[in-house]
Structures are given as C-alpha cells and as structure tokens.
Amino acid sequence: MQQIANLLKRLGLEQYSHCFTENDIDFSILRDLTEQDLEKIGIQSLGHRRWLLRAIADLEDVQRSASAVAGAQAPAVPPWLDAPERRQATVR
C-alpha cells in the first residue's frame, strides 16, 4: 500500500491515501479500478478521478514496455510523475 501512497503523493493527491487503505486496495489490483470504483471509495472530484485513471494507464504502459523489452530496465513510474508539478499562478 506504500506504493499507492507514493503514487498519490507524486500526483499531489495524497489526501486520498486513506480511501485506498480503508478499501484494501493494493498495487496489484490498482489497474482493475474504474471511475465508478474510485467514486465509490470516496474520490468525489471528477478531475482527481481522471488524473488517477491516467496515472494508472501510464503505469500499465510502463509495465508492458518492461515485459516487451527483455533485460531492459523500465522506470518504476512514468517520467512525468517524477517531474515537479507545474501549476498555473495568477498574479494580481
């Protein structure tokens, strides 16, 4: 469950860690989740559900690439998750 907590922290969505913990969701079943599942476990924001689904899809792509390339080391997370988060700032 620490892997999920780390993923959520990278996405800036660490406030949802308890939702995954309370529902016994670990990394092995993460890719099986749907938007409806995320809403049921307490993630009410549509935008946050979409961010999570994209991140899960990117993790699947990384895993597929790793299995397709024998002997090559694929990153544990997509490269954009390791980059600092960029947010638009409004100056008044």
Residue listed under structure tokens 């809403």: 39
pLDDT of amino acid 60: 72
| pLDDT score for 53 | 93
Q: Domain coordinates of the chain in residue numbers? A: 2-82
Sign of the four-CA dihedral 38, 39, 43, 47? positive
For 72-81, write each residue's pLDDT tens digit: 555 566 665 6
Amino acid at 89: A
CA atoms of 38 and 57, how far apart (whole Å): 14
Positions of the chain with pLDDT under 50: none
Confidence (pLDDT) at 79: 61
Q: What local confidence, expressed as pLDDT, does residue 3 receive?
A: 87
Tell me which fold the domain 2-82 belongs to: DNA polymerase; domain 1 (1.10.150)
Q: What confidence score (pLDDT) does residue 54 get?
A: 92
Contact by Cβ (8 Å): 49, 38: yes
